Chains A and B, each alone.
Chain A
Amino acid sequence: MKLSVTHVFAVPNFSIWIKPSLVRNLHQSVCCYSLKSAPPTSLKPQIPLFLRPPTHTATLSDLKKWHEWAKSLASSVGTAFVDLDNGPDSSLLCRELKWLMEDVTKDRLLPCQIPSEKLQGNVGLRVSLEDLYRLWKQRIEERRPFQYIVGCEYWRDLVLCVEEGVLIPRPETEQIVDMVADVVSDNEGLRKGLWVDLGTGSGAIAIGIGKILNSWGRVIATDLSPLALAVAAFNVRRYDLQDIIELRQGSWFEPLKDSEGKLTGIISNPPYIPSSHISGLQAEVGRHEPVIALDGGVDGMDDLLHLCKGAASMLKPGGFFAFETNGEEQCKRLVDYLETDAGDSFLSVKIMPDFAGIHRFVTGFRK
């Protein structure tokens, strides 16, 4: 019985969820049930487009009209955004448009599958055609990130729900999960331990690691933002990992006081962009993503250093850590800190490059 009750809360009633913003406001004022793995919160995440029921319809010719309009809008961008702030060019926008169409149509229609001759007939849509015009306008004119438009991001083999207020997981971060997979592959002790993902955001790293540890180990994912935790809880449940991943609210190690010296692994992609760089960021990032997940203080190292300090006392001997950084300079400074200032606490401290060759990660073990 207990199972079925949880189930009811876990799967939102779609008929209510068509206007998520409205529902969210509603739930903010009414205290509602919290998920088993989520901290008490009144927030409910938005449902990404691809999970909404196809309750709208449009004629094929109207959809085609929209697509052509959207395509010409994307083409008109040319390289303007690239020149402005290293934003997307037309061809990337066209790719996004293809995916938007895939997410929004009932049968995951690709633009090229709209027959050019026969345009009779209807298509089931997950948002109204009107909304589609509005969404694509937001994409181009306001530079609203594509992932917020569709409400999800494909990351590793996962499809993670995201929304404004939650950092969109980046492809670079996919690699952190591989590093964890590497260290646990030949070390059962590490595999069976307690891992933490600090500042989990959408829950990406925690879910990636959770899938690797499987039922052997456990993961605690923390975040300061209740909204991020609500989104993470939604994602955790979608991958049926609520028995492995626990979510806690609070700043960095604060909610982990009961686990001091007991952690097997500490993983984090903390904010690391220097404050002065925030205003010059690509518009999709700077104008729309949560500053709290990006701004790492004057030199971008505030949180990274805090994490390294904490790692010495929180990790158990032999425990592993991996942090993402802003690049070579931060990596070097962290290694300096870990090898000298942190006493003699760590060993095999390493800098790992990302797929573009940028020194991106610092990893190591607690002695």
Chain B
Amino acid sequence: MESLVRPLYSSSTILSPKPTNSSVPLPIQLLPLKPISSTFSLSTKLPLPSRSTAYVLYATQESQVSEVESQVSEVVNNETREWAMQDFYSLRKDVETVSERVEEIRASAGLRQLEQELVALESKAADSSFWDDRARAQETLLALTDVKDKIKLLTEFKTKVEDAETIINLTEEMDSSIDSGLLEEANGIIKELNKAIDRFELTELLSGPYDKEGAVIFITAGAGGSDAQDWADMLLRMYVRWGEKQRYKTRVVEKSPGEGAGIKSATIEVEGRYAFGYLSGEKGTHRIVRQSPFNAKGLRQTSFSGVEVMPLLPEESLNVEIPEDDLDISFSRAGGKGGQNVNKVETAVRITHIPTGVTVRCTEERSQLANKIKALSRLKAKLLVIAEEQRASEIKQIRGDAVKAEWGQQIRNYIFHPYKLVKDVRTGSETSDIAAVMDGELEAFIKAYLKYKYSMAMSSPPSV
């Protein structure tokens, strides 16, 4: 072992102190998120520091280390040999961890499937009639590039981690002639790999066709009067705070007040990249248990509110034709004789898609036509998402019964009394810091759900 350490010893100024946490995945940050570059390449985009720059690099890091760490490095300087050896071990451990991570991600990303897909797409593109339908051809080529890029990236993960492994093995096998620069290189590879894998994971989690769009959140109070309406209002605040924290442009576009307290319903528009991806898992029924503030006896009370989430799609991407006969469009009526007899600002429009029972409402616009247009685009967005969820290739194939079951499913409990706990029914993730959650701290729940959804998608048989 001594022999291994010697070369490190001679260059301890370079290696110490080692940057910490290189193998711990960075926490998934909700924002800002850039889609992973499809041509990501470790060697071109993230050049490893040359030896001369390494001094500078580590020097700056040294100046940033905490007091505790600098004390540690003082101790280490006295026993340089021991420290350097630990450093090597730790590097070796890091390489092992990343290697496992790479294997894992190659498996979960369905590398084999991707390769099959690539073959299929390539044979399609080679077909003599390929260019007959230009639009479809373009689509195929795009898909082909995507798949290729993904495979390339996964391959690169593998080669890079192998490079690092080779360095470790070499260091172990060789005696004194090893350049400490190589270990540096391995260290750099590991750091960059971890970052790249983090990014890859997140884009995988948010790879749905509408995930990068903005979102519309529609909150409706359940039955139960003031308690439920107050609960709906609390949820409204929670999502608005969440949106603000992500620095999304968050607007409450419609709010219909409850009789006594709270709201009957509200609509929030959240503009920004990936808003829908993050929020899509929030749809469902949210349940609160607390001592009722509306009851003199303060009895324990359970209330429900429904949350629906739709992507905020640009008009041109809503190229779905829905037969007029499939739509039940109702307008709010001013009552009485109508026409010239009445002047009321009731312009709400409600549209039901008869085959699936999917319903949307739009009340925030000031004219009926404007409400109708907006309601229709919301309906289309909702149907597109449902079709995607059910892996239906068109609206016609949507199973209405499944929509009802899924969109109304109870997803999260918020217990204020007798103890404090927020628990997601689907993922099991929970926290007792209910105040923070109501203040928009939803990251943990959102992240857990995205991972849960991803693992569900991976374990279920691939769609054909």
Asked if A pairs with B, the answer is yes
Which residues of A approach B to under 8 Å, CB–CB?
86-88, 91-92, 94-96, 99, 110, 112-113, 145-147, 154-158, 167-168, 170-174, 269, 271-273, 277, 281-282, 284-285, 289, 293-294, 324-327, 354-356, 358, 360
Inter-subunit contact B343/A145 (CB<8 Å): yes
Residues of B within 8 A of A167 (CB): 340
6 contacts between A and B (CB under 8 A): A170-B342, A271-B340, A282-B336, A354-B338, A355-B333, A356-B338
Residues of B near A285 (CB, < 8 A) are 340-343
Contact yes or no, B252 A110, CB < 8 A: yes
Measured CB to CB, the nearest residue on chain B to A90 is B257
- CB of B337 closer than 8 Å to a CB of A: yes
Of the residues A95, A113, A277, contact of B341 by C-beta under 8 Å: A277
- Known interface pairs A86-B335, A86-B336, A174-B369. Does A284 touch B343 (Cβ–Cβ under 8 Å)? yes
Q: B323-368: which residues lie under 8 A (CB-CB) from chain A?
A: 330-331, 333-347, 365-368
User: Of B255, B330, B334, B340, which is within 8 A of A272 by CB?
Assistant: B340
Asked if A282 and B370 sit within 8 Å, CB to CB, the answer is no
Q: Are A294 and B340 in contact (CB under 8 A)?
A: yes
Q: Quick one: given A92-B346, A95-B345, A356-B333, are A155 and B367 in contact (CB under 8 Å)? A: yes
Please indicate the chain A residues that have their CB under 8 angstroms from the CB of B344 in the complex: 87-88, 92, 282
Query: Is A171 a contact partner of B340 (Cβ separation < 8 A)?
Result: no
Question: B251 contacts the other chain (Cβ, under 8 Å)?
Answer: yes
Complex interface: chain A residues within 8 A of B370 (CB) = 154, 156-157
B256 at the interface (CB under 8 A from A): yes
Contacts A112-B255, A146-B345, A155-B369 supplied; 17 other A-B pairs, CB < 8 Å = A86-B342, A88-B344, A94-B257, A110-B252, A154-B367, A156-B368, A157-B370, A171-B347, A172-B338, A174-B367, A269-B340, A281-B341, A282-B344, A326-B337, A327-B337, A355-B331, A358-B339
A308 to chain B, nearest CB (A): 18
A155 to B365, CA, bound (A): 10
**Contact A110:B338 (CB < 8 A) given known A92-B345, A146-B345, A355-B368:** no
Chain A nearest CB, measured from B389 CB (Å) = 31
Which chain A positions have C-beta within 8 A of B330? 355
Task: Give min CB distance, B160 to chain A, whole Å.
Answer: 49
Contacts of B369 in A (CB 8 A): 155-157, 174
From A112, A154, A293, contact of B366 by CB (8 A): A154
Q: How far is the CA of A106 from the CA of B60 in the complex (A)?
A: 49
Contact check: which of B252, B339, B366, B367 meets A326 at CB < 8 Å? B339
CB distance from A350 to the nearest CB of B (A): 18
Contacts of A355 in B (CB 8 A): 330-331, 333, 368
A316 → B minimal CB distance (Å) = 29
